[in-house]
């Protein structure tokens, strides 16, 4: 199994669920994580990543970490200073239309969104609310482009777009697609030579459907145009995702593996969870399993069954531990002498 990994955690793209997969794998195999200095949750985002943002990094004795997966704005020369040269680089993308709808609810406090009631209102005159100079502008335009390290306000000329896609392809070994999450996990397992249980997960940091609303067609088209760079990244890598599947796995085996993954997840849900799945924040009985609530979103969580025995309880708990709590726990384990 591959153990040296760089995961670019793209906002609002099921990346918290992927992070849980990486946390569990890293913990089980005693791997080291490149944590934000002081035990925070972001690597000085939204600044471009620098090696010195990592706890325990020093230029004098360049220590290498196995897994880099906390929020960062990608800058490969700096990333290469903290991970082994053999590291596998991957990320995850989401349809920019849904991504922006999610971002609008989650980052309602961002300067571009705070004065509008709806996405339609924002898109009717975006430059009335959106300022390319404001420090939180990236939440409101081409968020994936920004996370990959590029200018979200760059022109979308064919030449520029090609350069950007080529740069991403040169840096990343593969990109997952959140709309095809289970298929993505099968690809991840294949690329990293992991076993099935390593890529099993329950959806984390997902939003209550009561805060979601379908978007009219004219809004969808405006969103694509406004997030043109993201749209170009998404459509290109959605295509290469399926080309990779056809080349490395094949549709028939993919179907079997996805079925096996879903069956294992259903089995674990029956074993671990009270009820049928996720619950509203107010209904989560164990406060240590309550995810961070942010903006106008209601982030769901889970209740574990009572009376699970030691090892099983631990497995189940890890599957549903929210990102911030899990990150703190692993940080304390790796740096016992430095309380976050």
**% of the chain surpassing 70 pLDDT:** 99
Banded model confidence at residue 8, pLDDT cuts 50, 70, 90: very high
Q: Across residues 74-100, what is the average pLDDT?
A: 97
Tell me the per-residue pLDDT of 111-170, one tens digit each, with 9 for 90 and over. Answer: 999 999 999 999 999 999 999 999 999 999 999 999 999 999 999 999 999 999 999 999
| Model confidence at 340: pLDDT above 70 | no
> Would you state the torsion angle of the CA atoms of residues 194, 197, 202, 205, taken in this order, to the nearest 10 degrees?
-40
Instruction: Delimit the domains of the chain by residue range.
Output: 5-334
pLDDT of res. 295: 79
C-alpha span between 129 and 81 (Å, rounded)? 38
DSSP state of 208: P
Burial of 37 (0-12, 13-18, 19+ CB in 10 A): middle
CATH number for 5-334 (one of 1.10.3470, 3.90.550, 3.30.70, 3.40.50): it is 3.40.50
**Strands 5-8, 88-93: pairing kind:** parallel
pLDDT of res. 208: 78
Chain centroid to Cα 80, Å, comes to 20
- Do the beta carbons of residue 113 and residue 254 sit within 8 Å? no
Residue 10: name the closest of 94, 130, 66 by CA: 94
Tell me the per-residue pLDDT of 225-258, one tens digit each, with 9 for 90 and over. Answer: 999 999 999 999 999 999 999 999 999 999 999 9
**% of the chain surpassing 90 pLDDT:** 90
Lowest mean pLDDT among 62-66, 206-210, 268-272: 206-210
pTM, 2 dp: 0.96
pLDDT of res. 339: 62
- Helical H segments across the chain, by residue range: 15-28, 76-79, 96-106, 119-124, 126-129, 143-147, 158-171, 181-192, 196-199, 217-226, 228-248, 251-272, 310-320, 323-334
Tokens of 295: 């903006």
Q: Across residues 312-333, what is the average pLDDT?
A: 96
Neighbours of 36 (CB within 10 A): 21
- Do the beta carbons of residue 171 and residue 243 sit within 8 Å? no
pLDDT of res. 260: 98
Q: Across residues 268-275, what is the average pLDDT?
A: 95
| Model confidence at 65: pLDDT above 90 | yes
| Model confidence at 42: pLDDT above 80 | yes
Tokens of 29: 């195999």
Q: Which uninterrupted H or E stretch holds 93?
A: strand 88-93
- Do the beta carbons of residue 111 and residue 136 sit within 8 Å? yes
pLDDT of res. 298: 86
The residues with which 33 forms a beta bridge, in sequence order, are 67
Banded model confidence at residue 221, pLDDT cuts 50, 70, 90: very high
Banded model confidence at residue 290, pLDDT cuts 50, 70, 90: very high
pLDDT of res. 318: 97
């Amino acid at each position: 199994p591959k153990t040296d990994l760089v995961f670019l955690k793209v906002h609002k793209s099921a990346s918290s669920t992927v992070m849980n997969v990486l946390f569990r794998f890293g913990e089980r195999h005693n791997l080291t994580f490149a944590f934000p200095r002081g035990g925070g949750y972001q690597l000085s985002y939204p600044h471009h990543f620098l090696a010195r943002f990592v706890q325990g990094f020093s230029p004098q004795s360049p220590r290498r970490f196995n897994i880099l997966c906390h929020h960062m704005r990608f800058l490969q020369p700096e990333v290469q200073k903290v991970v082994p040269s053999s590291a596998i680089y991957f990320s995850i993308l989401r349809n920019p239309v849904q991504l922006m709808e999610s971002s609008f609810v989650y980052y309602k406090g961002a300067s571009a969104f705070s004065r509008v009631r709806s996405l339609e209102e924002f898109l009717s005159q975006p430059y009335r609310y959106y300022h390319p100079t404001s420090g939180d502008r990236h939440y409101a335009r081409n968020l994936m482009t920004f996370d990959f390290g590029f200018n979200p306000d760059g022109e979308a000329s064919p030449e520029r777009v090609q350069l950007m896609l080529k740069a991403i392809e040169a840096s990343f070994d593969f990109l997952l697609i959140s709309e095809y999450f289970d298929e993505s996990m099968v690809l991840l397992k294949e690329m990293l030579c992991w076993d099935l249980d390593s890529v099993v997960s329950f959806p984390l940091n997902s939003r209550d459907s009561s805060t979601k609303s379908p978007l009219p067609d004219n809004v969808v088209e405006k969103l694509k145009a406004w997030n043109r760079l993201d749209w170009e990244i998404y459509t290109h890598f959605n295509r290469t995702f399926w080309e990779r599947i056809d080349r490395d796995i094949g549709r028939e085996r993919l179907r079997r593996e996805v079925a096996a993954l879903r069956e294992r997840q259903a089995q674990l849900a029956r074993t671990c969870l009270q009820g049928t799945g996720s619950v509203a924040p107010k209904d989560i009985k164990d406060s240590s399993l309550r995810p961070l609530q942010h903006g106008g979103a209601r982030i769901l969580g889970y209740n574990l069954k009572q009376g699970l025995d030691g090892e099983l309880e631990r497995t189940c708990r890890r599957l549903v531990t929210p990102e911030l709590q899990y990150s703190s726990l692993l940080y304390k384990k790796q740096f016992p002498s430095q309380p976050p």
